[in-house]
A and B are shown apart, each in its own frame.
Chain A
Amino acid sequence: MSGMDAILHGGLQGYLVVALLLFALGLATVLLRRTLLLQFMGVELMLNAANVALLAFARFRGGDAQATVFYLFIIAVAACEAAIGLALVIGLFRHRDTTDSDRAASLKQ
């Protein structure tokens, strides 16, 4: 399968392109949106893009079980990140009454 054909019918390159675009959309969300909750969701999208690439490579190397184990570790870290990140957003909202990252640019109280 070559080029365009691989993208349309699910070759390795197709999955990698989807992972790249997903990563780019997540990064765009972090860069362009100001709400901290949306930026957090963008980070989750970027983690997901990495997972898609990891498991695509695992599939095309003959169904490597190590990749699924590492996927499990990645989502464990993502779950920790979700708990801590959202706790920080709640803490910021308590102190500053905002969830806008531009309004939280100062380290002073």
Chain B
Amino acid sequence: MFITFALITLLGALGMLLQKNVVVAGLCMVATFFGVAGLFVLLANPVAAALQIIVYSGAIMVLVLFVIMMLNSHQEEEAVASRPVQRWLSLALLAALVFGAVKLVLSSGGLKALAERGAAMPQAMTLQKAGTALFADHLLGFEVAGLLLLAAMIGAVALTKRNL
């Protein structure tokens, strides 16, 4: 199961990177979000999986697709300059970063010990536990997040409206 959802996630992301059409790239990204939601279910966290599908696959992707349709720019524009050196250099640095990081993860003894200890305690996250932690320990953070969303909403209206 894990490998299926991991493949859905990574192939969706790869499709997004390689796709010429912006709308199709957006739909590849929806596949990625569903794959990540599947991974959250496997991590015994259905709360996060539901939030992932509602917020990312629902709200954010609808917003992105709406903007793509509104701007009517489905294809990538012609490049001003091809910049081959920068592109290959960034790819090489990225490959080195990924190679090093994966090697580090696989060779780390601490992670291995944590994985072995953690596999023995499969505790599913429930909405009750998450809600208790949110409203008992992080009430201020919750209020600040609400204020941030309000500020973002006003900011988005101010940025897009022609004459206020």
Are A and B bound to each other?
yes
Could you list which residues of chain A lie within 8 angstroms of chain B, going by C-beta atoms? 1-3, 6-18, 20-22, 24-29, 31-35, 37-38, 40-42, 44-45, 48, 51-52, 55-63, 65-66, 68-69, 71-73, 75-84, 86-91, 93-94, 98-100, 102-103
Contact, CB under 8 Å: B94 / A16? no
A-B contact pairs, 14 of them (CB 8 A): A10-B42, A21-B98, A28-B17, A31-B90, A37-B73, A41-B29, A55-B48, A57-B114, A58-B45, A63-B129, A65-B130, A82-B64, A87-B155, A88-B159
**Majority SS of interface residues in chain B?**
helix
Interchain CA distance A76-B150 in the complex, whole Å: 11
Contact, CB under 8 Å: B132 / A65? yes
Chain B interface, number of residues (Cβ within 8 angstroms): 85
With a cutoff of 8 Å between Cβ atoms, the chain A residues found around residue B91 in the complex are 28, 31-32
Contact, CB under 8 Å: A59 / B44? yes
Interchain CA distance A103-B77 in the complex, whole Å: 10
With a cutoff of 8 Å between Cβ atoms, the chain A residues found around residue B10 in the complex are 18, 21-22, 25
Minimum CB–CB distance from A3 to chain B (whole Å) comes to: 6
List residues 84-124 of chain B with CB under 8 A from any CB of chain A.
Answer: 87, 90-91, 94, 97-98, 101-102, 105-106, 111-112, 114-119, 121-124
